[in-house]
Amino acid sequence: MKKIILVGGARPNFMKIAPLYFELLKCPQRFAPLIVHTGQHYDQKMSEVFFKDLGLPEPDINLDVGSGSHAVQTAKIMIAFEEVLLKHKPDLVVVVGDVNSTLACALTAVKLKIKVAHVEAGLRSFDKDMPEEINRVVTDSVSDYLFTTCEDANQNLKREGISLDQIFFVGNVMIDSLLGYYSKISQSDVLERYQLKEKGFCLLTLHRSSNVDEKEVFCKIMGAIQQISKETKVIFPVHPRTQKMIEEIQLEEQNLIITEPLGYLDFLKLEESARLVLTDSGGIQEETTFLKVPCLTLRENTERPVTITAGTNHLVGLDPEAILKEVDALLENGHKDFALPPLWDGRASQRIVRVFESVL
């Protein structure tokens, strides 16, 4: 039996781990999965509620690293995770996404000569000012097995010299979760709770440091949002890092509904029901593409260009006038038809486990 450690540290990681965990459980004679939560997202609203919504058990191991600078957080994870690896001696470590936990655990494992699989490999924004871009590139460079969501990710890895026999195009595990839990979103009362009507509001998320840590940038974005809120309700579940900046500035909250972080099912219900989503999140660009909901990405670049070429995503930048112009156009005209990217079919985790069966 092969022991496989699944590493998660932040909300988007848990949605990628869940379908893999349950798929591995279908092969009890072959695989013994362990969930390691690094504690990078450590409060109840950013972590525990997601485990509950996804039906995941309590993590087998919680490193409880908490917050800190990139260097401090990464170092804490590496020190704690090394002890886990030495004790449990896994056959494979699976890391997902692009957070500090992804990089830290991949590096720790490979230095102990333990095989590493990176799920969601090959995504590139080509912007090294993004900490996540550094995490992606370094993690891919040390991983043994690289599982990709789209063809452009395959091409990025080939250009970087990754051997073809290490690259596995399997599709998008985020969509596995979305489809797996989609039937349950009818249980959510989030629309009633916040007095929202189907397709009668916009959904906003902001969490990237480049958008929420600099007061001038954040104020520009929120100036545009407040203009939008004069025409239609905007609901804004607030990430803890964003909350600090909100407390520094004055926001009119007439049609702008500011909430605490929401669980997975509540958030999916909002995404599906929104007339338009504004975000700086990578995963939300993918989810809105699948849900056929127009999305404006409030960034200058994206590591998920397939959501633009094949999906509902519009890369709009940070200029308030450009944001307002694009919102007006989408609210008036909707968006074009599109085809889903290949293999976004809810079976990516099955393909990944089949690869595990082959290579382990």
Which residues are annotated as catalytic?
207
Q: In what order do the strands lie in the sheet with 313-315?
A: 256-259, 233-237, 201-204, 276-279, 295-297, 313-315
Q: Give the count of alpha carbons within 13 A of 278, CB side only.
A: 30
Torsion of CA 281, 11, 360, 115, to 10 degrees: 80
Task: Determine the Cα–Cα distance for residues 321 and 62; give it in Å rounded to an integer.
Answer: 45
Task: Determine the Cα–Cα distance for residues 90 and 109; give it in Å rounded to an integer.
Answer: 9
Is residue 207 classed exposed, middle or buried when 0-12, 13-18 and 19+ CB atoms within 10 A define those classes? middle
Number of other CB atoms surrounding residue 13 within 10 Å:
27
Question: Do 329 and 314 meet the contact criterion of CB atoms below 8 Å apart?
Answer: no
Is residue 134 classed exposed, middle or buried when 0-12, 13-18 and 19+ CB atoms within 10 A define those classes? middle
- Single-letter amino acid code for the residue at 142: V
Length of the chain as a residue count: 360
Task: Determine the Cα–Cα distance for residues 121 and 119; give it in Å rounded to an integer.
Answer: 6
Q: Which of 323, 307, 196, 310 is nearest to 262 (CA)?
A: 196
- CA end-to-end span of the chain, whole Å? 10
